[in-house]
Amino acid sequence: MSDAKQAKRYLVSGMVQGVGFRYFTQAAAEKLHIGGFVRNLRDGRVEVFAVGSPQQLQELRATLERGPRFSSVSEVLEEPAAPDRQYEGDFFINPSD
């Protein structure tokens, strides 16, 4: 399989707001050299848009499923996304939706 960059969108459900989930995700993405963003959604979920190799994205998903210390992740939905050059290098915490 190629190491071509791809983009994924993850929707994380559970007790994932107010527990440092966005900072946890940003630190994990930066460690994995993944670009993208994370933000809280109004419905209580966290949205993660990530650009990286299949291996990097697989590792990020495993990290999202674990979550930070005081979180409780019940589900991580994953869907393909269109790559966005704006997020190829850095990983941001975006304002909540």
**Residue 64's CATH number:** 3.30.70.100
Catalytic (active site) residue 94: no
pLDDT at 1: 44
Average pLDDT over residues 5-22: 97
Contact 87, 25 (CB under 8 A): no
- Dihedral in degrees, nearest 10, Cα atoms 61, 45, 94, 3: 20
Whether 45 is in a domain gets the answer yes
Whether 65 is in a domain gets the answer yes
pLDDT at 87: 85
Residue with the larger pLDDT of the pair 89 and 43: 43
Whether 1 is in a domain gets the answer no
Q: How many domains does the chain have?
A: 1
Catalytic (active site) residue 40: yes
pLDDT tens across 15-69, in order?
A: 999 999 999 999 999 999 999 999 999 999 999 999 999 999 999 999 999 999 9
Range of the domain at 28: 6-93
pTM as predicted: 0.94
Q: Which one of the listed residues 40, 61, 66, 85 is annotated catalytic?
A: 40
Other beta carbons within 10 angstroms of residue 33's beta carbon come to 11
Q: Which one of the listed residues 9, 22, 39, 94 is annotated catalytic?
A: 22
